[in-house]
Chain A
Amino acid sequence: MTSAATGRKTMVLIVEDEFLLRMDAAEMFEEAGFDVLEAANADDAIALLEMRSDIEVIFTDIDMPGSMDGLKLAHAVRGRWPPIRIVTTSGQFGIGRDQLPVGGEFIAKPYDFDDVAATIRGLMGR
């Protein structure tokens, strides 16, 4: 997917501690025409966000070990980088919209990648 403004591919940051899921998601995003960055935890994700200015979407798992889980990460991103679109995912039952930052989306695991891509396209169109 390309950004209308810049003509570049949309850059997605995938945050997922389970390697296999991260690798699979990265390949699916690439095949769908996105540029991809990967992080295995929230701290690495924050470090990437601080280093780069081209990240437009963050797709993060909620259940991650470390100082910050995906929900805290999502709120931190909304606070520090408001333009970034946020999509969260988890195998946990009942993550409510009220737990997500404003404008954030949630997709249950296991997910169909087409739903993830469609959700992100929807967010990019807003």
Chain B
Amino acid sequence: MQTAAPKSAIASMEQELIAAGDGLAGNADLLRSVLAGCGDCIKILDLDGRLQFMSEGGKRVMEVEDFGKLKGCPWPDFWTGQGNTDARQAVATAIQGGVGRFKGPANTARGNLRHWDVQVAPIRGDKGQVTHLLSISRDITEEWRAVSELRDAMERQALLAAELQHRIKNTLAMVGAIANQTMRGDDVALARKAFNSRLTTLSRAHDILTQTSWTSAPIRDVIDGALALHPGQGRIDIRGPDLELAPKQALALALASHELATNAVKYGALSVSGGRVDIVWSNATAGTDAGFRFGWTESGGPPVEQPAEDKKGFGSRLIERILANDFAGEVRISYRPTGVVCELNAPTLAPAIAPAREAVS
């Protein structure tokens, strides 16, 4: 239990003030100047926790214009919630002779929310008895803001890291599935070539999606990316309105376009000079029957034959099933005398708003 400052401590302060310079020791105005200059809110409470005095500097930071209206009010009631509990506890601690400390938010007299670091200590009389309480509140709003912004940033960072990890694992799983599906024949060199070109297609689609933080991808960029690996691009005509695809649809269309182009170069229209491919899509207004249509039409190539169901490779199955699945539509591949035709009929694609892309110089 603390007692009043001993006489020796008061004498020692007098000595230090004298040593500090003329006009300080014995100056009755010193206390007023210190209180006015201090940026903390310094208050004196009675033993019932009622406000009795507030420093000039304190009225400034607490935005108090008329202290007369506040004088005598219970100080803990300026706090709400946990702050109210903490303030009552701090008052009780100081009455017992200890120092109560807490941090919390409270409004200024004008209703502006600030964060405070508060301590409440006893003021003792001649005989060491606690007569009043000294409450000092320091405005720590800026620090509090900086800390909470840092905490938010760290939480975002952790979320992003988890999301990234999840996406990488999913991509690795997709690569594993493509590997499983590709490495089935006996010809290792062919399988390796097919595998690498499928991976490159996936990678290009990722590049496009990364530019929008995986929100959407422009359909034309997706198709261009998938066809870039293949020869004969001068004989591919691409026509359709600007549309943003969802990430899954972008990956599906990229992989399917790649497989169609691979087949066209191997056996279809792009295997001979003079053959052509027309890629056309349209997107109707929502609610109409037309929906989203995508067509791949080959012409001028050698005659093609429909492969037997059990002879269909991964590429054909991928084209049919991945588009149907990820666009929730129907896919038909026809082997016409004029060449292969692949048609997708799906519900209208919602008009995704293209996110702003950073200009690349």
Which residues of A does B touch, CB under 8 Å?
18-21, 23-25, 27-28, 40, 63, 90-93, 108-111, 113
Which residues of B does A touch, CB under 8 Å?
162, 165-170, 172-178, 180-181, 248, 252, 255, 317-318, 321-322, 325-326
User: Which B residues are in CB contact (< 8 Å) with A40?
Assistant: 325
B177 touches A24 (CB 8 A): yes
Q: Chain A residue with minimal CB distance to B322?
A: A19
Q: Chain A residue with minimal CB distance to B169?
A: A91
A93 touches B181 (CB 8 A): no
Total number of A-B contacts with CB less than 8 angstroms?
Answer: 65
A24 touches B325 (CB 8 A): no
B180 touches A109 (CB 8 A): no
Majority secondary structure, B binding face: helix
A113 to B172, CA, bound (A): 14
A52 to B168, CA, bound (A): 35
A18 touches B162 (CB 8 A): no
User: Which A residues are in CB contact (< 8 Å) with B318?
Assistant: 20, 23
Give 13 pairs: A residue, B residue, CB < 8 Å, sorted on A: A20-B177, A20-B318, A20-B322, A23-B181, A23-B321, A23-B322, A27-B180, A91-B165, A91-B169, A92-B165, A92-B169, A93-B162, A113-B180
Given the contacts A19-B326, A24-B180, A91-B165, A109 and B321 also touching, CB distance less than 8 Å: no
Given the contacts A28-B180, A93-B165, A109 and B172 also touching, CB distance less than 8 Å: yes
B322 touches A92 (CB 8 A): no
A23 touches B169 (CB 8 A): no
A63 to B165, CA, bound (A): 13
User: Which A residues are in CB contact (< 8 Å) with B175?
Assistant: 110
User: Which B residues are in CB contact (< 8 Å) with A27?
Assistant: 180-181
A109 to B255, CA, bound (A): 21
Q: Chain B residue with minimal CB distance to A92?
A: B166
User: Which A residues are in CB contact (< 8 Å) with B326?
Assistant: 19
